[in-house]
């Protein structure tokens, strides 16, 4: 794609997100700033700004733009927060979080994906994201507490270790459910609000039975 084509498709994506109910100006600006084509294979670059998930290997996908925008908007970031992300993938959502002014620690269970995410983030010129290869269900206790947590993997409950790493007034957004089907939930101060159905890969790691 030419630079003009990329800019046009990205602009149309942002307009579509606004039409679909994303009103957070910080999130819309971040979605307009992050080059999504840098986080997919060259074969899929033409579809980078379509509102659909795209495969990234290992049975995983890069989430559709609306899902990413909805999750980030639900965190209600104002800039300067330390955010824990569980499930890096290729790093696109982490890049959007960083573009919103967050300091991001992202934990990816798959070692190859973690390496690719670091490469994609560097190629996109993204700073402020630390990608770790590890067990996301254990979080990142050495960097806790976090003002916000974004989980991109489904489980029957939020991992206790991760909950312990959220500030008392912090926000956690992630899917709860079985296998890939779940409901996106926003949790703050012990109160949970369902935001709608989603599909994510199951959370792997030290997840309680």
Reported as a single tens digit per residue, the pLDDT across 23-57 is: 999 999 999 999 999 999 999 999 999 999 999 98
Spatial separation of the C-alpha atoms in residues 144 and 48, rounded to whole Å: 33
Confidence of residue 3 (pLDDT cuts 50, 70, 90): confident
pLDDT score of 208:
45
Give me the mean pLDDT over the 168-180 stretch.
92
Q: In the predicted model, is pLDDT for residue 207 greater than 60? A: no
Confidence of residue 162 (pLDDT cuts 50, 70, 90): very high
46: Cβ contacts below 8 Å, ≥ 6 apart: 1
pLDDT score of 206:
61
What pTM does this model have?
A: 0.94
Domain boundaries, the chain: 3-199
Classify residue 101 as left (phi > 0), alpha (psi -120 to 50) or beta: left
Spatial separation of the C-alpha atoms in residues 185 and 192, rounded to whole Å: 6
pLDDT score of 209:
40
Q: For the chain, give the mean pLDDT.
A: 94
Give me the mean pLDDT over the 197-201 stretch.
90
Please list the active-site residues.
Answer: 63
Q: What percent of the chain has pLDDT over 70?
A: 98
56: Cβ contacts below 8 Å, ≥ 6 apart: 39, 40, 41, 62, 89, 90, 113, 116
Fold adopted by 3-199: Rossmann fold (3.40.50)
Q: In the predicted model, is pLDDT for residue 185 greater than 70? A: yes
Q: What percent of the chain has pLDDT over 90?
A: 86
146: Cβ contacts below 8 Å, ≥ 6 apart: 81, 82, 83, 84, 105, 165, 166, 167, 170
pLDDT score of 82:
98
């Amino acid at each position: 794609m030419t630079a003009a084509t990329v800019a046009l498709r990205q602009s149309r994506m942002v307009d579509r997100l606004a039409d679909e109910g994303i009103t957070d100006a910080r999130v819309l600006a971040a979605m307009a700033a992050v080059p999504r084509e840098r986080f997919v294979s060259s074969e899929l670059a033409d579809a980078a700004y379509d509102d659909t998930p795209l495969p990234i290997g290992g049975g995983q996908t890069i989430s559709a733009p609306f899902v990413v925008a909805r999750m980030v908007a639900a965190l209600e970031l104002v800039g300067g927060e330390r955010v824990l992300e569980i499930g890096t993938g290729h790093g696109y959502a982490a890049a959007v979080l960083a573009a919103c002014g967050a300091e991001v620690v992202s934990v990816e269970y798959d070692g190859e994906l973690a390496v690719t995410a670091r490469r994609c983030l560097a190629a996109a010129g993204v700073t402020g994201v630390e990608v770790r290869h590890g067990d996301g269900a254990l979080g990142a206790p050495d960097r806790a507490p976090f003002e916000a947590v974004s989980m991109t993997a489904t489980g029957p409950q939020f991992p206790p270790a991760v909950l312990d790493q959220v500030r008392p007034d912090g926000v956690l957004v992630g899917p709860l459910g079985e296998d890939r089907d779940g409901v996106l939930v926003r949790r703050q101060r012990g109160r949970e609000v369902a935001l709608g159905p989603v599909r994510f890969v199951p959370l792997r790691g030290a997840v309680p039975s």
